[in-house]
Amino acid sequence: MVIIIVAVLGILILLRFILIKRPQAITTTTTNNNNIKQTQPKKPRVTISTSMILTKSENGDFSISNEVVEAITKISSKCDIFLITRVDTDSEEQLAHKALQDSGIFQNGLVNELKAIYCSKEEGRISIVRQIEPHLHVDGSEDIVKALQPYTKKICFISEQSQFPPGKNVSSFPNLKIFSDSSLFA
């Protein structure tokens, strides 16, 4: 009887070690100039709504300030950025994309151009963020922040007019530059 109990316990302990996945470091493999593969830690994903980044002029063109480009440059040094833009039409999407291109955000590896994502509704922005499962989401809409709060690890609310009620996973900043200088995204 004792032998059977010891054998069952041994099997259970063995199964525990086999079935429980040990956390693996998230890495990416690159090849340098000498064809030597190097493994580097993957950067945490950050989604940024462009609603507070892109400004729309009266003639319908979009622009982005140098201060915002500097902030994105700083954030991209430590994070893998996805830009999410809500647009009403295909031509508006093209104008927004052109503004992002002209700002230089897609150059020198700051933001991968394929990670500029467009949607036509606010609900689309919520769905995109939930699908990407970022470490951090940056947004200027209280409604979006409230909707994402239960599903997103960290959220940064950007608004000069109001502060989002503090929560366990929400921080407020008046602009993207001050956020990029903070230690939140690091």
Q: Tell me: the pLDDT tens digits for 162-178?
A: 776 667 888 888 888 88
Contacts of 29 (CB under 8 A, 6+ apart): 37, 38, 39, 40
Name the pTM for this structure. Answer: 0.75
Q: What is the pLDDT of residues 24-41, one digit of tens each?
A: 444 555 555 566 665 566
Phi and psi of 36, rounded to 5°?
-100, 125
Residue 72 near residue 111 (C-beta atoms within 8 A): yes
Cβ atoms 137, 152 nearer than 8 A: yes
More confident residue, 78 or 2: 78
Residue 8 in this model has a pLDDT that exceeds 60: no
Q: Please give the structure tokens belonging to residue 142.
A: 């209280």
pLDDT of residue 114: 94
Name the DSSP letter for residue 167.
B
